[in-house]
Chains A and B, each alone.
Chain A
């Protein structure tokens, strides 16, 4: 007997690609509503484009740090030292100036020029995976054979993580972001991830390689504790895996459902740049920003929010706000969607955005040109979406050609 899964919280509900109408209703009516998050906590949900932008720009009143004594429901008790160690180096848990200190160590690695230099290697990785798909023959699971391994291999090489360890860390990354798992289990996964990363950091301290971990140790090794290095590298590994891979999977499905637009991405080399931006906007796979905590009493869209409250910015809602863009629910790859919020906004704007864009700009045209007749090998109704994940996407996608 199968048991119906409980619905995810309102800000995570989707009908395939689209947020459910309730989210649009909040945006249209009061703009900000108090809702219950995946852990049963009462949070404020901000839904309008301009409000999301303003909130994410205002790190003084909407903080990423957690006040002393803040605990997640069900989290085991931890000493102050344990907590500090578990949070060290997590850029998404810091405010300026501490955040800026760490981010500035990383930004040289993610300039547009530096990412451009990775283009030949990314192209090679994409080609290898297409070759493997072709020799395996249809049908294949596109998530397993294309969408996940390409960003995974790229971030491993960039960071200095052995790709051979992927079975373990891919499993951990996926489960860490699955909000249907109990908090103690997710904290345990986080602990295991940090332990794994500690072993890589210890090795890199002795023989720093030609990768980001090696660079951080060579250039900033004296300023960074091992805990910070572990936190930074762990965040990059997780973020590098779970974002681009879900965009590649879900975006391919979106194109398969819109064959004219698929053909344009396949046949017109100039189309892919704006197409990537519009797919980022329309799919908005990161369901919410990292929750902020109000440091003072604030008002958003005329709704008062007291100090010390958790506030979620809905990126899908902001990106589908008719006040931001015309016909927001339509996928129109020609428009490029400048100003979309898929990478967030403010000081925490995605560090890896240039890398993610480069990977997608290479991967989609290459996939569609290799397999011009690419098609679903399962019914659309049967496609399994990841509805309880912090990052939306597909569990698998069977395709043929």
Chain B
């Protein structure tokens, strides 16, 4: 399972970091930073939740 992010449209809500700070971080401007593009098995549910609830719909799982 791979995570991707569309940084251009990120609105820096921090929603993903709140769900998992092991998978996501924010740069100084608040824009999403992916900490693990290959999602570890035990974090797949968190990744799915972050993708589903991202206010700007900029996270994707493949």
Contact = CB atoms under 8 A, between A and B. Distances in A.
Given A103-B11, A349-B13, A353-B14, A110 B30 contact: yes
Determine chain B's interface SS by DSSP, over half rule.
loop
Interface in B12-59: 12-15, 17-19, 26, 28-31, 49, 52-53, 55-57
A144 to B, nearest CB: 31
Interface string A106-132: 011011110000000000000000000
Given A104-B29, A111-B26, A347-B56, A338 B49 contact: yes
Contacts, number: 56
Interface residues of A, number: 22
Nearest to B10: A107
A113 B26 contact: yes
Contacts of A73: none
B26 A57 contact: no
Contacts of B14: 110-112, 353-354
Nearest to B46: A338
A339 B52 contact: yes
A264 B48 CA distance: 29
B30 A107 contact: yes
B26 to A, nearest CB: 5
A107 B52 CA distance: 22
A345 interface: yes
A108 B30 contact: yes
Given A338-B19, A338-B49, A344 B30 contact: no
Determine chain A's interface SS by DSSP, over half rule.
helix
A357 B19 CA distance: 13
A111 B10 CA distance: 13
Contacts of A103: 11-12
A221 interface: no
A336 to B, nearest CB: 10
B28 A108 contact: yes
A123 to B, nearest CB: 20
A53 to B, nearest CB: 9
Nearest to B16: A112
Contact of A353 (B13, B29, B31): B13
A9 interface: no
A361 to B, nearest CB: 11
A346 interface: yes
Contacts of B52: 339
Contact of A346 (B12, B15, B53, B55): B55
Contacts of B57: 57
A235 to B, nearest CB: 16
Contacts of A107: 11-12, 29-31
Contacts of B19: 338
A112 B53 contact: no
A100 to B, nearest CB: 8
A272 to B, nearest CB: 14
Contacts of A111: 12, 14, 26, 28-30
Contact of A347 (B11, B15, B28, B30): B11
A349 B56 contact: yes
B50 to A, nearest CB: 9
B15 to A, nearest CB: 8
A339 B28 contact: no
B53 A110 contact: no
7 contacts: A57-B57, A103-B12, A338-B19, A338-B53, A347-B9, A349-B11, A350-B13
Q: Which 10 pairs across A and B sit closest by C-beta, in order of nearness?
A: A349-B55, A107-B12, A107-B30, A111-B30, A112-B14, A339-B53, A111-B26, A349-B13, A108-B29, A112-B17
Interface of B: 9, 11-15, 17-19, 26, 28-31, 49, 52-53, 55-57
Given A103-B12, A338-B49, A349-B13, 18 more contacts: A107-B29, A108-B30, A110-B30, A111-B14, A111-B30, A112-B18, A112-B26, A338-B19, A339-B52, A339-B53, A343-B13, A347-B11, A347-B55, A347-B56, A349-B11, A353-B14, A353-B15, A357-B18
